[in-house]
Structure 1
Amino acid sequence: MRVKVITDSTAYLPADIIDKYNITVVPLNVHFEGEVFKEGTRYSYKEYYDKLRKSSGFPITSQPSAGEFLEVFEQLASGQDALVILLSTKISGTFQSANMARDLLTDRNVNVHLVDSEFSGMGLGFQVIEACELLEAGKSIDEVTSRLAEMRKKMHLYFVVDNLEYLARGGRMSTISCKLGTLIQLKPVLALQEGELALFQKVRTLPRAMAVVLAELNKAQDSISKIAIINVEYQEKALQLQEQLQQKYDVPVSICELGPVVGSHLGPGSLGVVFY
């Protein structure tokens, strides 16, 4: 019986990949200006970020409930395996909700395997796609999870935000640090390290910050398999960077636009790369 692959909305997978592998995507929630909606519904990314720019408030994001995961798990056939690959436990309680749902399952013949991706965006997306490809090739779940663990060891995600205000408003950075950084045009290079957001390096301008990111990519050039450019409302620059990287590296280079759950904390104009 075919293994069911399940992930959450912060993988930001293309619709054709979701359809090709019949992936179930469990959305996270966005609470903003008196309304609550599931990520990927209600607003296009452009509509949402236009609204975010104009608002003096800030959205709150929350993980799916255990009940929502349980509803998904109960749709599995008896005896079926599910591989559930989710965003980092250090930045969301999504994994915990799925774990609670697994414990609530009454059909003990359904086998739910949970994986903490330690990433979000295409750091998570790459792992979901790899899992689908391996399962399609007949690999066992143990072989797949072992491969994903190897991927995580060599996976890196770096990005630069255009405006520190969003990190501050979202509680990811103190308001004082934000104001000082904006004053001196600080452009911190941030990274996801061991599953959580970390300051990688401080520089003064966007070109210098991107130079730091691309230097890290260049260090790994001999072992890179895939690259994705992540961005928040910065598609034009992402396309330029894609062309630049395709000319330099003989590997696939995709573009991933981040949605409300992740993008709200980084803000429009954010740009980065994830590679392994």
Structure 2
Amino acid sequence: MIKIVSDSTCDLSPELVERYQIEVIPLHVLLGTEEYLDGRNITPDEIYAWADKNKTTPKTSAVSMEDASTAFAEILENYDGIVAFSISAGMSTTNNVLRLAAEEIGASDKVRVIDSMNLSTGVGHLVVEAAILAAKGASLDEIEKAVLDYRPRVRASFVIDTLVYLHRGGRCSGMAALAGGMLKLHPKIVVKDGAMLVDKKYRGKLPAVTLNYAKDMEEQLLRAKPDRVFITHSGTDPAIVESVRSYLESLHHFDEIIETHAGSVVCSHCGPGTLGVLFID
């Protein structure tokens, strides 16, 4: 049997992690001199409070070599191999840490490390697909080939309520051009080739903007892989989330519409009020 592992930026809920028997290794969040583990001992609301008080974006860092090598070694006591996913290598050194951890324990032949070239449930889609294959008894080669085929088809995008966090962190190409209109624009951020880019720019109140953002993708949504679509947000008004869910339900296309809350690392850079609809084209 093959075990599926992901770093914590996959933003899969505890229920999904349990359902698909996924092992999650946390990234680190630094609030000043205090260090926390994503999804373990820090919440997005605590991060927002700290960031607003200190007028800066928290720092985040890759999974630790110790955590990764320990997890790999323990898993390989009971499994034949591991497929491990990381947030885009262009956004974090986590991918390299996972590779080095496999080398450190002499298991490079048993551990396939996949650069998702994505973030949040853009990673999560690949992780779930891998877990489904692993449960069916697929081999390392079969799982790796399948997820690499899916990888360029993952569509990850978000509409942002406040540009403050992305601007502070310098994480998104095109932020300088938007800085002058920070309080007026709600940009659509897309992940392309492993990087975050500013796409369409919306104006107006967030409820209308968020629904329009989802509707603008209707053509793609109707040809998407129908198994699941994620609504992933960073603490968005439940009424806004429900309006997007209702719209997706009205398409009568997806077998499952899954709501997840973004983890601490993603929330650190996107801020509150962010919402994305993520699917496989």
Output the amino acid matched with 2:275. Answer: L
C-alpha separation in 2, matches of 1:78 and 1:210: 46
Output the amino acid matched with 1:273. Answer: V
Task: Quote the residue 2:225 is aligned against.
Answer: 224
For residue 74 of structure 1, give the secondary structure of its aligned residue in structure 2.
helix
C-alpha separation in 2, matches of 1:212 and 1:239: 14
C-alpha separation in 2, matches of 1:176 and 1:250: 38
For 1:20-39, list aligned pairs within 5 A: 20-39=19-38
TM-score, normalised to structure 2's length?
Answer: 0.88
C-alpha separation in 2, matches of 1:163 and 1:35: 25
Task: Quote the residue 1:246 is aligned against.
Answer: 249
Question: Aligned pairs, how many?
Answer: 273
Q: Is 1:195 the counterpart of 2:194 in the alignment?
A: yes
Q: For residues 151 and 249 of structure 1, do their structure 2 counterparts lie closer, same or farther at Cα, with a shift above 3 Å needed? A: farther
Percent identity between matched residues is 26
C-alpha separation in 2, matches of 1:91 and 1:50: 24
C-alpha separation in 2, matches of 1:239 and 1:50: 25
C-alpha separation in 2, matches of 1:188 and 1:27: 28
Task: Quote the residue 2:88 is aligned against.
Answer: 88
**Which of residues 241, 262, 267 is equivalent to 2:266?**
262
C-alpha separation in 1, matches of 2:201 and 2:143: 37
Kept in 2: contact 1:157–1:275 (CA 8 A): yes
For residue 161 of structure 2, give the secondary structure of its aligned residue in structure 1.
coil
For 1:155-194, list aligned pairs within 5 A: 155-172=154-171, 177-183=177-183, 185-194=184-193
Q: C-alpha displacement at 1:29, in angstroms?
A: 0.3
Q: C-alpha displacement at 1:227, in angstroms?
A: 1.2
For 1:32-47, list aligned pairs within 5 A: 32-47=31-46
TM-score, normalised to structure 1's length?
Answer: 0.89
C-alpha separation in 2, matches of 1:176 and 1:222: 34
Q: Structure 2 regions of 5+ residues with no counterpart?
A: none
Question: What root-mean-square deviation, in Å, do the aligned CA atoms of Structure 1 and Structure 2 show?
Answer: 2.3
For residue 85 of structure 1, give the secondary structure of its aligned residue in structure 2.
strand
For 1:139-154, list aligned pairs within 5 A: 139-154=138-153
Q: C-alpha displacement at 1:81, in angstroms?
A: 0.8
